[in-house]
Amino acid sequence: MPNFSVSTDNFIVRPVRQDEVVAPQKMGRGPDLSYMSLPDGPRQFNQRAAVGGAAAAVFSQAAAALNEGAISVWLRKWIRANEAKISQALLQHRHSAFVLQVNYAVANSFGNQMFLSRDIYLLGTAPTTKEIGTVLTSDVMFGPKADAIPNNATKFKYAYLVGERR
């Protein structure tokens, strides 16, 4: 996942922590871990093959790290371009924290994950970072999303960020 901990001259932005929002209700059973007891087979072959391709893996990780860094740069530029809008929303409500929703896509390109920027939204403001649950309700975070239907290799992702003044 890209690093969304970004700071500018006026703001500090970080991902939302688990304890800051209301937890959704549980869906039911957890994952099935019976695959751990399967006999040796293709998994071990793939593991041995991966050891032989270590140089290619290092190159792939470097390319992915550069691509993830591009998302952080995009977020920092968006915050700098919209500092006036964010400051105005904070002053209007006399709040000190704001919430952003970052929409991005994850696509596969020859085995590498590519992070593609989509859009950023200012969802609202809150008096403090401890009270962002008023903006990030479970309907906002886990409710239906109106998106275009991507191809099978692309997945749309959402990140919720909390920001405050420096």
pLDDT reported for residue 58 = 79
- Residue-wise pLDDT tens digits, 45-82: 666 666 667 767 777 778 777 877 888 888 999 999 99
Q: Are strands 97-109 and 112-126 parallel, antiparallel or unpaired?
A: antiparallel
Distance CA 43, CA 61 (A): 21
What share of the chain in percent tops pLDDT 90? 24
Identify the bridge partners of residue 38 per DSSP, sorted by sequence position: none
DSSP letter (8 states) at residue 17: P
| 3-class secondary structure, 119 | strand
Q: Round the average pLDDT of the chain to a whole number and report it.
A: 81
CB contact at 8 A, 146 and 119: no
Determine the average pLDDT of the residues in 30-42.
61
- Residue-wise pLDDT tens digits, 103-126: 988 888 777 778 888 899 999 999
Decide: pTM greater than 0.85.
no
